[in-house]
């Protein structure tokens, strides 16, 4: 599954390339509680087809009703659909917030662009699919769009003259090992919007891989890490239990900006891994400080899918900047439970 923004933009580009009328809606401001953050996008086709989301569903329904009518010349919005971008605000009153399913006190404002240029969208998609971070600026008086590479991720900017949104690159997950647990983790990572690469030089594991959408490679894991050049939107998860495959890949990942680096295993196995890395690769407690293990959050998981859920939850928490309580760490929770037994 693609990154959600890429999915929305790709659908929009297809509609426009086929000659259909369409719009792009972007959340530009929120007040109070809001179902979707600023910068969230959705696309709407004249047929009523929708991709993406700007709320929990009720606002989407209203946009469909308003603009499918407008495209056939009916309703108050008919005069707008061929012109420059317009703003639409939802949840101004308590009654309206209730009507559109917004949380108490929630208000959001959308920028609506009509019939974005298909070629310009294709250029943006090509850049995002190449792993570039892109800035898209919309000039409000006439809807002119300027797209350029961006140096760093940025929050949406909206002023009297323009709206600037930053897209991509995709979050990436590299999984070392193509076993059963890797399939569960890859599935969850894909529907969470990650681009997933699975690395396993063992043909007997690769041959039984069954998760569509994940790229499977056969090179040695440390070489794959080096080639991927993990950045701050990349996580590396080792799941083979084989030191020959996991250890060097984890070491290589620790030298990058990867936001999450961790390996599967019990407390004893993780202690043994750290001891090996110190003894044979001159590592220290400081150099291994970012190495996570046992990975996951403590949910009492026993089966491969449950363990994969706990790992994915920890990855998402780290990605989203959430500091998990120490008693949710696997090692700490198990130690406490053993003390209570």
- Counted residue by residue, the chain has a size of 341
Q: How confident is the model at residue 154 (pLDDT cuts 50, 70, 90)?
A: confident
Q: What is the pLDDT of residue 1?
A: 42
Which tens digits make up the pLDDT trace of 33-75?
666 789 999 999 999 999 998 886 678 989 999 999 999 999 9
DSSP for 5-36 reads HHHHHHHHHHHHHTT--EEEEEEEEEESS-SS
Which tens digits make up the pLDDT trace of 269-309?
999 999 999 999 999 999 999 999 999 999 888 899 999 99
Which tens digits make up the pLDDT trace of 122-138?
999 999 888 789 999 99
pLDDT at 153 over 50: yes
Q: What is the pLDDT of residue 102?
A: 58
* CB 102 within 8 Å of CB 124: no
Identify which of 141, 133, 196 has the alpha carbon closest to the alpha carbon of residue 167. 133
| pLDDT top residue among 32 and 323 | 323
Mean per-residue pLDDT of the chain: 90
> Strand runs (DSSP E) across the chain, as ranges?
22-31, 41-45, 50-52, 86-90, 107-114, 134-139, 145-149, 157-158, 162-167, 172-176, 195-199, 215-217, 234-238, 260-263, 291-292
Which tens digits make up the pLDDT trace of 64-119?
999 999 999 999 999 999 899 999 998 755 565 556 555 555 688 999 999 999 99
């Amino acid at each position: 599954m693609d990154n959600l923004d890429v999915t929305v933009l790709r659908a929009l580009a297809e509609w426009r390339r086929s000659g259909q009328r369409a719009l792009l809606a972007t959340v530009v401001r929120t007040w109070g509680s809001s179902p979707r953050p600023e910068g969230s996008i959705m696309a709407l086709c004249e047929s009523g087809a929708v991709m993406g989301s700007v709320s929990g569903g009720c606002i989407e329904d209203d946009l469909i009703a308003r603009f499918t009518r407008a495209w056939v010349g009916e309703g108050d919005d008919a005069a707008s659909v061929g012109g420059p971008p317009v703003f639409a605000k939802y949840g101004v009153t308590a009654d309206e917030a209730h009507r559109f399913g917004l949380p108490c006190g929630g208000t959001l404002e959308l920028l609506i662009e009509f019939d974005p240029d298909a070629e310009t969208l294709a250029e943006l998609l090509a850049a995002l699919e190449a792993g570039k971070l892109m800035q898209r600026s919309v000039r409000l008086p006439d809807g002119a769009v300027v797209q350029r590479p961006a140096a760093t991720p940025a929050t949406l900017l909206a002023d009297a003259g323009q709206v600037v949104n930053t897209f991509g690159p995709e979050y990436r997950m590299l999984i070392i090992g193509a076993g059963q647990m890797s399939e569960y983790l890859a599935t969850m990572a894909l529907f969470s919007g990650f681009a997933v690469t699975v690395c396993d030089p063992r043909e007997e594991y690769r041959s039984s891989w069954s998760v569509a959408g994940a790229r499977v490679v056969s090179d040695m894991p440390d070489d794959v890490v080096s080639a991927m050049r993990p950045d701050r939107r990349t996580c590396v998860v080792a799941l083979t239990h084989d030191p020959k495959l996991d250890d060097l890949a984890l070491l290589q990942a620790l030298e990058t900006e990867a936001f999450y680096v961790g390996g599967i295993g019990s407390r004893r196995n993780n202690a043994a891994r750290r001891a090996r890395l110190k003894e044979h690769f001159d590592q220290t407690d400081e150099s291994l400080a970012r190495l996570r293990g046992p990975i996951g959050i403590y949910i009492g998981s026993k089966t491969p899918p449950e363990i994969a859920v706990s790992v994915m939850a920890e990855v998402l928490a780290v990605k989203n900047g959430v500091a998990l309580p120490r008693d949710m760490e696997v090692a700490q929770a198990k130690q406490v439970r053993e003390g209570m037994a």
